Amino acid sequence: MTTIYNFPFNTCEKVRSPIAQPYSAFINLITCLILIYFIVKTKSMYSFAFLFSFLLFQMMHLVSHCIHIAGNIQQISIHYLAILTNICFYVLYTVSSKRNSYALTLAFVFINLLDLYMLYENYPFVYTVFTQLFVFILLLFSFFEILPLAKQNHIQLLLLSSFSVGVLLINEKKNGNKLLEWWPDFPFHVFIELVGLVAIYLIATLFYDIEQPKV
């Protein structure tokens, strides 16, 4: 099966020089700075690990919008960093909730195995984006009942923004070429990045201050 959506080459922003996609890169730079700000304020090594893994993901995301390297090394690197981020998120949940949900663990393992299968069978990249997005949303639902009411409201906003990223990704995959034909100089991909910025800000504010669980 031929890869249809090959990040970052098929993102809906005209390639320029010397920075390949400067508008998307700039927004990703802001998200990296947001994560750094909250990382230094974390209250447990588990929160630190989660936000730091997210920072690594976003830094690779940033580099990929700055420099396009032939092949799929950027796509693969970003995807593995997404898996790492979700693993750290899973650990943060299990430690902070002091719960061992076999159903959640089974679903987490199964989805990631399916994800890796699709990745190495060269399914369109956007499909594997959705598997990791689904894992993240599954963990968010798990977190919902153990967080304070104020943070539960923020999780609802985060779920909405995560869903919006998915809708925008589908639209870009289906209509990206047409959009660039109509208006080739407009960086349509920034809409995804802006919604992602909101989501990352919510993630940072929700999880940076989870304290080290007492033994």
Per-residue model confidence as pLDDT tens digits over 102-125: 889 999 999 989 888 887 877 666
> Could you read off the pLDDT of 22-35 as tens digits, one per residue?
999 999 999 999 99
Of 124, 166, 145, 150, residue with least CA distance to 202: 150
Judged against a pLDDT cut of 80, whether residue 127 lies above it is answered with: no
Residue keyed to tokens 């949900």: 101
Whether residue 10 is predicted with pLDDT greater than 80 in this model: the reply is: no
Give the position of tokens 């890796």: 116
Residue 201 has what pLDDT? 95
For residue 6, the model assigns a pLDDT of 61
What would the mean pLDDT of 156-166 be, rounded to a whole number? Answer: 88
Tokens 């995301």 locate to: 61
Residues in the chain: 215
